[in-house]
Amino acid sequence: RGAMALLRVRHCRALVYCRRAPPQCPACGGPLGAGGLSSAPVRLNCPFRHGHGQPRAFLVKPTRGSFLGGYDGSSDLHVGITDSRGLVYNYDQEGAHRAHSGWEQCICIPLVQPDMVELLQQWDNLLVEFSEGEAWLPHRYDEQEHNCYTFALAFINHVLSRQGKQPLSKGEFTERFVIPQSRRASRYLTLHQELAHRDCYIVPLPEGGQSS
């Protein structure tokens, strides 16, 4: 499947990315095992999560297909909010939905800390009540101005206001929470795509970098 492990090996002033560690370094031809612990393969954690297993979270996925199934980096994305059981509330031209499936490979941003006991208990009711508001009827949908992101951010700000906190603008939320995760996902996707066509992908380290 697309989520096969990615490995990183540091050797001879290069980072070698691969699916399976080769016996010899593809950059210099030297034996990888001779480098000891410093050149041991490191498994890279996949940044994508099964969204239905991520309670009380902001999720991002491609509108069509999946990240590891050919996403080109520019196709439309869809976002949603999970309840305590991983049911995904989302909004599109057909109105607000509750999805039991379809969010199996997502960028996931947790929204509630474990010590927020009152919010943990109230979350599901708040989400149900919010999603049934008139703002999320199908005819209100606008691809640019009133979309899935509007819905998710409005719910987050609804929760913040109940806590007496300032709302977040779209730019603020995106910069603080979405972009760091997206950058990590983008780097992983680049490696995944490079290794779809070759056994190894070599990234030279800058001069002065460690050689092991």
Specify the higher pLDDT residue, 93 or 72.
Answer: 93
For residue 72, pLDDT beyond 60: yes
Dist CA 54 CA 81 (whole Å)? 10
**Within-domain flag for 206:** no
pLDDT digits (tens, 9 = 90+) for 123-163: 999 999 999 999 999 999 999 999 999 999 999 999 999 99
**Residue 156 resides in a domain:** yes
Question: With bands split at pLDDT 50, 70 and 90, how would you rate the model's confidence at 4?
Answer: low
Per the structure, how many domains does the chain have?
1
Q: Cα 33 to chain center, whole Å? A: 34
212 domain-assigned: no
Does residue 30 belong to any structural domain of this protein? no
Question: Residue type at 29?
Answer: G
- Report the DSSP pairing between strands 6-11 and 42-44: antiparallel
Q: What is the pLDDT of residues 178-208, one digit of tens each?
A: 999 999 999 999 999 999 889 999 999 887 5
Residue 33: pLDDT over 90: no
Asked whether 42 and 8 are in contact (CB, 8 A), the reply is yes
pLDDT at 148: 98
**Most confident stretch, 18-22, 50-54, 187-191, 199-203:** 50-54
Structural domain including 156 reads: 48-168
Give 24's strand partners: 31
- Residue 10 included in any domain: no
Give the integer Cα–Cα distance in Å for 47 and 186: 9
Q: What is the pLDDT of residues 74-132, one digit of tens each?
A: 889 999 999 999 999 999 999 999 999 999 999 999 999 988 999 999 999 999 999 99
State both tokens at 169. Answer: 């603008």
CA distances from 32 to 16, 27, 150 (A): 11, 11, 50
User: What average pLDDT score do residues 158-174 get?
Assistant: 96
Examine residue 95 and state whether it is found in any structural domain, yes or no: yes
Is the residue at 26 inside a domain?
Answer: no
0.95 surpassed by pTM: no
